[in-house]
Chains A and B, each alone.
Chain A
Amino acid sequence: MALHLDYSNINYSDFLLAIITKDIIEKNEFQSSFAKFLRKDHMSVNKPQSEISRRTFIKGLGGGIVGTAAVGSAITGGAAPETGPEGAEIRGPDKVQIALTVNGKKHRLLVEPRTTLLDAIRDQLGYTGSKRVCNRGECGACTVILSGNTILACSMLALDADGGKIETVEGLAKGSKLSPVQEAFVKHDAMQCGFCTSGFVVSSTALLRENPQPTLEEIKMGVSGNLCRCGTYPHIFAAVTEAAESMRKGG
């Protein structure tokens, strides 16, 4: 069974551990909102994996492909970057310039280091399809594709996505021609209020790229990081099943 690599399926605290240091988690453990602690300025540093990911990023630039979800920070500004205790680069506390390629279009923007990727693409770039529902990686409404893998944009800092290639729900259609997944969602009415729909469409798209012939159980697993409060799951399963079929037929 091809496993769908999806951050929404990874335990929330594991994900946090991967991007921030332990003492900060402890300090903020009782803060109920993830956003609150993402927005502390000092949070933007000390990503344990940043050495690896920076290399990956540079390699990615050279080869034209970014091979991992973790994208390191590009150096911005003229000054040499400060480094933290583990040799990680410190950026901020002032606004930092980053570059994001969203749906094939390159954007340069200034973000506060605490700004999440979700808020950056929504508030600064106007890609409002991705939604903030829980703001702590529990619901999948902010799911976007970064360098080929789904990530939760509410739980990643914008500057950690610096230089990354992002696909949002707005980028899936070709002009007014909906993607097979989108078409199937409409046909099967795989939505009600629609607030979760962007996340489901993106997760389903990523699932079918990874696994073009999923079983019902694999579809359930593939969208298990997304919540729908209106309860449209049966229609979503039907839509993904049909999208898989039509994509197969379409070559």
Chain B
Amino acid sequence: MASWKKIEEMRLLGKPYPRVDGADKVSGMAKYSYDVQLPGMLYGRILRSPYPHAKVKSVDASKVEALPGVKAVLTKIKDEVLFAGDEVAAVAAVSEGIVDDALELFQVEYEVLPFTVLEEKAMKPDAAKVFSERDSNLGKPQERSEGDMDKGFAEADMIIEQTYRLAVQTHSCLETHGCVAEWRGDELYLWDSTQAVHGVRSAVAKHYDMPENKVHVITHHMGGGFGSKLWARAYNFIAADLAKKAGAAVKLMLDREEDFLCTGNRPSSVQKLKIGAKRDGTLTAFQMESYGTGGISGGAGVPQPYIYFFPNYKITHHDVFINAGPAAPMRAPGHPQAAFAMDSLMDELAEKLGMDPLELRRKNDRNETRAKEYQLAAEKFGWQRRKPSGSDTGNIKRGMGIGTGRWGGGGNKETKAIVSIYPDGSVDVKIGTQDIGVGTRTIVAGVVAEVLGLDLQDVKPLIGESDYPWAPGSGGSTTAASVCPAIKNAADRAKAKLMEKAAARLQVQPDDLQIQNKGIIAKSDPDKKLSWKKACFLLGNQPISEQEAWSEGLSDSGTAGCQFAEVEVDTETGEVKVLKVTAAQDCGLVVNMLTATNQVNGAMIGAVGYALLENRILDQNTGIMVNPNLENYKVPGAMEMPEFDVTIIDESQRGVIGLGEPPAIPGPAAIANAVANAIGVHIRELPITPDKVLMALAKGKEGSR
């Protein structure tokens, strides 16, 4: 079985090193799909439904077609639109101005249908149906159980029950979804802002019933995805159709509002939880009844019971359909929702039992890595400073809380890479993965540099094209664990080929040779050596080019994490300020400590937004999203930044495990628990906005009267 060197013996891996495309990104030279400009390129735009539910009776595009500058029109994309923002028609024109003018010239006759945009109303039998062919707006019940729940509750000394709610969060990638499509003869080139060049290639080929080798998907840089860009979307086909009709390249980038409406979201979640526990804190039973909406899609389920050991449990979940844009996987789908509800109720239980919340967790959490992390993070954070809930005095109160998380990750065994060594000593690596911002391009080069004993800048990483060897879409925190093993194996083979050549020249056995200081040297006789350049020169006119696949032993799956948050709550304004978050997280072998730390920070910042700010709001009366912009849908900014203290636990012996999602999980729970600790009242709904804080404080006072 393949293995990595020990972490102490590695030159690059495990250490911090700047990303290889950093200079391109800070100087504006990195080209995103949005930056692609081709000769004669047209601009495409999609006409979207203003109604949350309607039949499209007719689309008259005669005025559109008559507008000078319009080059292609698609009418009546769908017969029925299911949400405000659904596709109706599309147009391509010579300038963005003209294409916007054109959009206003479509004459569409809609038959407006009843709609529903609120989960609670949509669940009722008399609600307007999102899908006319279905009996109700409820998905099939999802059930899971273990042990004997009733027996478990009967054994409990204490039973605690609460309902938790989470709003819909949107990905809000800064580069909106979109692509540039160009047909060259019967071959299609797509510069797509995607997390999956191979996935999009296959889907597009299938859609057009054309050979896969004639579709080329290119994503050299992309401006964020967070799960919402994992597959081909309607805009891909619309852009390609427009390009075909017009006989010219078409750039079709959605605008910010469109991105909010139709490109995905993290579903809402309402979880009614019930926990049974012994007086000493031992958990005996768990029950959850939950629902949530992913708009016209499912996917609102949550992985309860989260992380703690319950010998007996039963969960029931219903997806609820409403007339809103579909969900998409979003950074650890389901997990932050589950962690928020579970860790909140665990804190409420701890209060009832008169236990330290950390002790209650330790008692019921069987994960060994997290046990280490609790210890380490609690010490670094200063958990012993925590006061009893609600005991802080003054108008501005401080509190502390804990959140937890787990994630799978792991590599895809079909992943392949090609490493080439050229006679002039230069090296490249080709792999059809993509860098969605996490620094994949850098670790692709880093692994080759590590194996071949070269500097990072000596290796040219070629990624982001579907014509390179297959790699999975960048989702589920699987990228690093997929690409690193394949690349290492390819680099090992390329190195072995070079060693054979060098061994023949130095008249030693290949296994007597090792790489040292950018040269090849015989262990038995240090005088027998070749510089890297000279060794490569032996290749004559035939470069080494070795393809290899992923193999066991270089990666693993399964991570654990915990985070401690300290907040300040202004009880007069209701404002919550996160002061500090301390995180402990494992991810196996850290391939690049600098980009890894950046990932953890970023995930924690996303959690600050989810906990305190982000909320997609649909107007009940019109069915339209009222905040489809970055002013009213608030994402975290510089002023909201707490202090971060991140420790990535070294478990390098396990090989590479992904890191993008795991640290996004514990934060919301930690922040919510810290707020409860500060003000002595639990707010059971995210985001914790000032109005909810003030309401909770008012109710808390009433309750104590």
Residue of B598, B629, B635 near A232 (CB, 8 A) is: B598
- Does B199 lie at the interface of the complex (its beta carbon under 8 Å from any beta carbon of A)? no
**Chain A 168-182 near chain B by CB (<8 Å), digits 1 or 0:** 111011000010011
Query: CB distance B28 to A129 under 8 Å?
Result: yes
- Does A234 lie at the interface of the complex (its beta carbon under 8 Å from any beta carbon of B)? yes
Q: How far is the CA of A221 from the CA of B29 in the complex (A)?
A: 27
- Given A192-B437, A227-B630, do A234 and B29 touch, yes or no (CB 8 Å)? no
Residue of B32, B598, B629 near A138 (CB, 8 A) is: B629
Question: Among residues 185 to 227 in chain B, which have CB atoms less than 8 Å away from a CB atom of chain A?
Answer: 221-224, 226
Query: CB distance B257 to A32 under 8 Å?
Result: yes
Residue of B23, B223, B226, B438 near A186 (CB, 8 A) is: B23
Q: How far is the CA of A42 from the CA of B384 in the complex (A)?
A: 64
Contacts of A185 on B, CB cut-off 8 Å? Answer: 22, 26
Q: How far is the CA of A138 from the CA of B630 in the complex (A)?
A: 6
| CB proximity of A29 to chain B, nearest CB, Å | 13
Closest chain B residue to A203, Cβ basis? B638
- Does A54 lie at the interface of the complex (its beta carbon under 8 Å from any beta carbon of B)? no
- Given A132-B34, A189-B598, A233-B638, do A114 and B97 touch, yes or no (CB 8 Å)? yes
Q: How far is the CA of A236 from the CA of B595 in the complex (A)?
A: 13
Query: CB distance A224 to B598 under 8 Å?
Result: no
Q: How far is the CA of A12 from the CA of B632 in the complex (A)?
A: 12
- Stretch of A19-27, A60-68, A83-91, A194-202 that contacts chain B: A194-202
- Does B308 lie at the interface of the complex (its beta carbon under 8 Å from any beta carbon of A)? no
Question: Among residues 223 to 245 in chain A, which have CB atoms less than 8 Å away from a CB atom of chain B?
Answer: 223-224, 226-237
- Given A115-B97, A131-B34, A138-B629, do A220 and B595 touch, yes or no (CB 8 Å)? no
Query: CB distance A126 to B602 under 8 Å?
Result: no
- The CB with the most chain A CB atoms within 10 A, among B22, B31, B628, is that of B22
- Does A136 lie at the interface of the complex (its beta carbon under 8 Å from any beta carbon of B)? yes
Q: How far is the CA of A236 from the CA of B25 in the complex (A)?
A: 13
Query: CB distance B23 to A33 under 8 Å?
Result: no
- The CB with the most chain A CB atoms within 10 A, among B172, B221, B638, is that of B638
Identify whether the interface residues of A are mostly helix, strand, loop, or mixed: loop
**Chain A 187-223 near chain B by CB (<8 Å), digits 1 or 0:** 1010111111110010000000000000000011101
Contacts of A195 on B, CB cut-off 8 Å? Answer: 32, 173-175, 223-224
- Does B100 lie at the interface of the complex (its beta carbon under 8 Å from any beta carbon of A)? yes
Residue of B18, B35, B100, B635 near A39 (CB, 8 A) is: B100
Query: CB distance A220 to B639 under 8 Å?
Result: yes
- Does A119 lie at the interface of the complex (its beta carbon under 8 Å from any beta carbon of B)? yes
- Does B601 lie at the interface of the complex (its beta carbon under 8 Å from any beta carbon of A)? yes
**Chain B 222-234 near chain A by CB (<8 Å), digits 1 or 0:** 1110100000000
- Stretch of B309-317, B603-611, B696-704 that contacts chain A: B603-611
- Does B30 lie at the interface of the complex (its beta carbon under 8 Å from any beta carbon of A)? yes
Query: Count of A residues near B, CB < 8 Å?
Result: 64
Query: CB distance B22 to A191 under 8 Å?
Result: yes
Contacts of A169 on B, CB cut-off 8 Å? Answer: 26-28
Closest chain B residue to A201, Cβ basis? B26
Query: CB distance B644 to A193 under 8 Å?
Result: no
Query: Count of B residues near A, CB < 8 Å?
Result: 61
Contacts of B97 on A, CB cut-off 8 Å? Answer: 39, 112, 114-115
- Given A130-B28, A133-B256, A194-B223, do A231 and B638 touch, yes or no (CB 8 Å)? no
Query: CB distance A229 to B641 under 8 Å?
Result: no
Query: CB distance B175 to A127 under 8 Å?
Result: no
- Does A128 lie at the interface of the complex (its beta carbon under 8 Å from any beta carbon of B)? yes
Contacts of A139 on B, CB cut-off 8 Å? Answer: 174, 630
- Does B135 lie at the interface of the complex (its beta carbon under 8 Å from any beta carbon of A)? no
- Does B573 lie at the interface of the complex (its beta carbon under 8 Å from any beta carbon of A)? no
| CB proximity of A45 to chain B, nearest CB, Å | 17
Contacts of B175 on A, CB cut-off 8 Å? Answer: 131, 133, 193, 195
Closest chain A residue to B225, Cβ basis? A193
Q: How far is the CA of A141 from the CA of B635 in the complex (A)?
A: 14
- Given A131-B34, A235-B598, A235-B601, do A194 and B256 touch, yes or no (CB 8 Å)? no
Question: Among residues 634 to 660 in chain B, which have CB atoms less than 8 Å away from a CB atom of chain A?
Answer: 635-639, 641, 644
- Does A46 lie at the interface of the complex (its beta carbon under 8 Å from any beta carbon of B)? no
- Does B56 lie at the interface of the complex (its beta carbon under 8 Å from any beta carbon of A)? no
- Does A109 lie at the interface of the complex (its beta carbon under 8 Å from any beta carbon of B)? no
- Does B439 lie at the interface of the complex (its beta carbon under 8 Å from any beta carbon of A)? yes
- Does B96 lie at the interface of the complex (its beta carbon under 8 Å from any beta carbon of A)? yes
Contacts of A5 on B, CB cut-off 8 Å? Answer: none
Q: How far is the CA of A126 from the CA of B257 in the complex (A)?
A: 25
- Does A55 lie at the interface of the complex (its beta carbon under 8 Å from any beta carbon of B)? no
**Chain A 10-38 near chain B by CB (<8 Å), digits 1 or 0:** 00100000000000000000001101100
- Does B631 lie at the interface of the complex (its beta carbon under 8 Å from any beta carbon of A)? yes
- Does A135 lie at the interface of the complex (its beta carbon under 8 Å from any beta carbon of B)? yes
Q: How far is the CA of A170 from the CA of B96 in the complex (A)?
A: 24
- Does B246 lie at the interface of the complex (its beta carbon under 8 Å from any beta carbon of A)? no
**Chain A 99-126 near chain B by CB (<8 Å), digits 1 or 0:** 0000000000000101100010011001
- Does A52 lie at the interface of the complex (its beta carbon under 8 Å from any beta carbon of B)? no
Q: How far is the CA of A232 from the CA of B641 in the complex (A)?
A: 10
Q: How far is the CA of A54 from the CA of B32 in the complex (A)?
A: 37
Query: CB distance B29 to A197 under 8 Å?
Result: no
- Given A189-B19, A194-B437, A232-B598, do A226 and B638 touch, yes or no (CB 8 Å)? yes
Closest chain A residue to B98, Cβ basis? A112
Query: CB distance A231 to B636 under 8 Å?
Result: yes
Q: How far is the CA of A178 from the CA of B24 in the complex (A)?
A: 10
- Does A134 lie at the interface of the complex (its beta carbon under 8 Å from any beta carbon of B)? yes
Query: CB distance A220 to B641 under 8 Å?
Result: yes
Contacts of A32 on B, CB cut-off 8 Å? Answer: 257, 628-629
- Given A182-B27, A193-B174, A231-B606, do A33 and B255 touch, yes or no (CB 8 Å)? yes
Contacts of B25 on A, CB cut-off 8 Å? Answer: 191, 194, 197
Query: CB distance A191 to B26 under 8 Å?
Result: yes
- Given A135-B256, A229-B173, A231-B604, do A170 and B28 touch, yes or no (CB 8 Å)? yes
Query: CB distance B598 to A227 under 8 Å?
Result: no
Question: Which of B's residues lie within 8 Å of A, judged by CB?
Answer: 18-19, 21-32, 34-35, 37, 95-97, 100-101, 172-176, 221-224, 226, 255-257, 436-439, 594-595, 597-599, 601-606, 628-631, 635-639, 641, 644
What would 25 A/B residue contacts be, using CB atoms closer than 8 Å? A123-B96, A129-B29, A130-B28, A134-B631, A136-B256, A138-B629, A138-B631, A168-B28, A169-B28, A172-B27, A173-B27, A182-B26, A185-B22, A187-B18, A191-B22, A193-B223, A194-B25, A194-B30, A227-B630, A229-B174, A229-B635, A230-B602, A232-B601, A233-B605, A235-B598
Question: Which of A's residues lie within 8 Å of B, judged by CB?
Answer: 12, 32-33, 35-36, 39, 112, 114-115, 119, 122-123, 126-136, 138-139, 141, 168-170, 172-173, 178, 181-182, 185-187, 189, 191-198, 201, 219-221, 223-224, 226-237
Given contacts A182-B27, A189-B594, A194-B223, 7 further A-B contacts (CB under 8 A): A127-B28, A129-B29, A136-B629, A138-B629, A193-B437, A195-B224, A232-B598
